[in-house]
């Protein structure tokens, strides 16, 4: 019980201090562009709930979820294939490095030309940025598999599907989840960026509209909402990761003598 309380205090301590500092510093603010935090929070409910929750927040999350899941599936699939095949890895490495170096926001005008201005373009923007951490971490995870385990799987004549499931994916899963964790934060950023181009709804679109109409408290409320969404998604990801990598976490704890 004490351990749980300690984790809660550590998790909430810094955010509470930052909120208190923001509230105190801006409490007497008369700046149009830096309103008091109480004014921002006061406008948050009427700004986002209930209408914009369904019109802007839900569509944004659906685009993020679709693009993120596609990136994870493609990244893991391609990463396993490249990691297992040395010749394929040598052949594709220059191409992968080239495309990885291109910032995804630069691709937005090009994707608009080919995919239009609908949801497909926004999902493609998210995929184009999220796939790289997953892909590269999967490749490294597969390449780093224990040679003893590889030989053992051959001795026991595991079938290809069984080897893929029990050796390759399981052995590379810590690095796959590390890449997926990076991709999640990138996906949130790209979700907002994609909605700032030729969009008619979404959190990013609405924040820009508030900025253009000088609705500054509402603009700040959207930024805070994005941060809260990021925190919630991070907690959900950590929960899933903890369940999926329970064996790995237990192994690391045993190695540390905990």
Domains of the chain: 53-255 (1.10.3720.10)
List Cβ neighbours of 114 (8 Å cut-off, separation of 6 or more).
none
Hey, what are 247's tokens?
């064996």
Does the pLDDT at position 12 exceed 90? no
- pLDDT tier at 6, thresholds 50, 70, 90: low
Mean pLDDT of the chain: 87
Determine the pLDDT at residue 2. Answer: 57
Percent of the chain with pLDDT over 70: 91
Summarize pLDDT for 147-181 with one digit per residue, the tens.
777 767 776 676 778 788 878 888 889 999 999 99
Q: Which residue, among 136, 236, 141, has the nearest Cα to 188 in the 3D structure? A: 236
Determine the pLDDT at residue 58. Answer: 94
Q: Which range, of 4-8, 121-125, 168-172, 228-232, averages the lowest pLDDT?
A: 4-8
Helix axes 119-143, 86-100, angle to 10 degrees: 140
Q: What is the pTM of this model?
A: 0.89
Alpha helices in the chain (DSSP H): 2-26, 37-48, 51-52, 58-84, 86-100, 108-115, 119-143, 147-155, 160-163, 170-194, 203-212, 216-244, 246-255
Distance CA 243, CA 56 (A): 31
DSSP 129: H
**Contact criterion met (CB below 8 Å) for 183 and 134:** yes
Say which residue, 91 or 3, is predicted with more confidence. Answer: 91
């Amino acid at each position: 019980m004490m351990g749980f309380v300690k984790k809660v205090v550590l998790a909430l301590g810094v955010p509470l201090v930052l909120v208190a500092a923001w509230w105190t510093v801006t409490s007497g603010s008369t700046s149009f562009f830096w309103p008091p935090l109480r004014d921002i929070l006061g406008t948050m409910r009427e700004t986002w709930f209930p209408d914009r929750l369904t019109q802007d927040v839900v569509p944004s999350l659906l685009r993020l979820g679709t693009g993120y899941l596609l990136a994870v599936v493609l990244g893991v699939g391609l990463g396993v294939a490249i990691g297992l095949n040395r010749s394929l890895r040598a052949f594709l490495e220059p191409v992968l490095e080239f495309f990885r170096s291109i910032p995804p926001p630069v691709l937005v005008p090009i994707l608009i030309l080919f995919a239009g201005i609908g949801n497909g373009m926004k999902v493609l923007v998210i995929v184009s940025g999220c796939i790289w951490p997953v892909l590269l971490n999967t490749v490294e995870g597969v390449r780093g598999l224990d040679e003893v385990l590889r030989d053992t799987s051959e001795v026991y004549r595991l079938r290809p599907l069984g080897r893929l499931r029990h050796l390759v994916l399981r052995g590379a899963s810590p690095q796959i989840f590390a890449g997926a964790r990076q991709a999640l934060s990138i996906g949130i950023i790209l979700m907002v960026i994609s909605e700032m181009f030729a969009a008619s709804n979404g959190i990013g679109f609405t924040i820009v509209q508030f900025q253009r109409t000088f609705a500054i408290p509402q603009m700040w409320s959207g930024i805070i909402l994005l941060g809260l969404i990021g925190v919630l998604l991070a907690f959900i990801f950590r929960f899933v990761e903890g369940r999926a990598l329970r064996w790995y976490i237990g192994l690391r704890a045993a190695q540390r003598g905990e």
